[in-house]
Chains A and B, each alone.
Chain A
């Protein structure tokens, strides 16, 4: 298939970006979105144009490195899919595809389609860990954990930190990401002990870094490649308010 791509090009964080239009022909419908961009980059190199910079790593949908805003949607038109797992069969011959980077104050553009997501790391460093000494491996079933709690913690832990929630949120809020980290730890015995302190410090960090305020539109859970539920946000709110009331 032949496609027209409108791609955001930006030299560096301080430069002003703009869209460039490229044509690409004979794209295989079986190629992934990133493979299509690889082919485009080969073409650009041959034409002596600087190739487009974009983030990627595992290309298996599990690392959270890739992330493009494609035709107005985080990770493109498919549901529960990362950009690397999006395939060109989702597009038609002759389509024009608009490709933008994640846009948020807390995710500044590094170059072209690459953004700096270290804000997520900073949030994790502020409390997304277990600092109590948990000792050696306990006997099986020595610490009973209800299956529902284990399942929910596991669901929250599937977050790959790609930032699609922030990218798609009309307020560029990081609540889904932070709530997934809070849930994952607060539901299990080791993490429960620090749940309140964690919620407080992660909220403070998230606010400080310039993420917006959640208005519960629910767009994040729809665009999340791992389908993480906003029910975690309710738990996060609960943990935070409990902690603040206890202060």
Chain B
């Protein structure tokens, strides 16, 4: 294992492992969020379960590390890639050999990061750090918990707020459409048969994430 992370493929391995971990996290996150469509009790209970689960104490810092490693190594690798071609081409016709998303992963990742900061300030910081007074308690099935449903509902009734969240979901979805199969390719879990399969699964997965996260703001906007 010596010096594995000094090698290009070793650094990319870190991108893949953290990427796959974040991919898994997004599925869990979306599942919880979809409870919003089933009313306040259902969502508050789901959110309460996530917040009080003993596992969360380990998963939360792991998640933060996962994000950090993914972002730091993306920056290192992108800077190296910039240096690998000091003189740029004057004419460039890249569209016929690769997808726009695959060429702009760092840009897409950056938009997702901006969204993540907005998102954390709106909910995580408000609920967990500031303990904002606007968040009332609610009793569901005899258990007292934060009424996060009302907080989300109030936010999502603002149209431009919904727009930010839908744009966030679109950029995330584009990032994942390449990132998903690319992670498997880098780890070496791919071959000529699985190439098509992984790319298809990548599209299905990124659509689930993109559409799934967009449905929620749209739901609050319409109903």
Contacts and interface: CB of A to CB of B under 8 A. Distances in A.
B94 A213 contact: no
Given A217-B99, A222-B97, A222-B98, A19 B90 contact: yes
A186 interface: no
B94 A170 contact: yes
B7 A240 contact: yes
B90 A234 contact: no
A240 B2 contact: no
Given A73-B93, A247-B2, A216 B186 contact: yes
Nearest to B195: A231
A238 B194 CA distance: 14
A204 interface: yes
B96 A73 contact: yes
A215 B81 contact: yes
A170 B102 CA distance: 10
Contacts of B98: 170, 217-219, 222
Contact of B89 (A69, A213, A238): A69
A247 B128 CA distance: 44
Contact of A172 (B7, B10, B85, B188): B85
Interface string B174-191: 000010011011111111
A233 B4 CA distance: 18
Interface residues on A, range: 35 or more
B1 A238 contact: no
Contacts of B97: 73, 168, 217-219, 222-223
Contacts of A173: 81, 84
Contact of B178 (A204, A216, A235): A216
A186 to B, nearest CB: 12
B91 A215 contact: no
Contacts of A100: 89-91
Nearest to B188: A238
Interface string A214-228: 111111001100000
Interface SS of chain A: mixed
Contacts of B92: 72
A98 B93 CA distance: 11
Interface in B93-113: 93-94, 96-99, 102-103, 105
B87 interface: yes
Contact of B7 (A72, A104, A171, A204): A204
A180 interface: no
Interface in A68-92: 69, 71-73
Nearest to B199: A218
A103 interface: yes
A113 interface: no
A125 interface: no
Contacts of A247: 1-2, 4
A210 B86 CA distance: 11
Given A222-B98, A229-B192, A244-B10, A210 B90 contact: no
Given A234-B190, A237-B185, A214 B1 contact: no
Contacts of A241: 9, 13, 187-188
8 contacts: A168-B94, A213-B8, A213-B12, A215-B105, A215-B182, A222-B96, A222-B98, A231-B191
Interface of A: 6, 19, 69, 71-73, 98, 100, 103-106, 152, 168, 170-173, 203-204, 206-207, 210-219, 222-223, 229-231, 233-242, 244-245, 247
The 7 closest A-B pairs by CB, nearest first: A238-B188, A212-B84, A72-B93, A222-B97, A171-B81, A234-B190, A217-B98
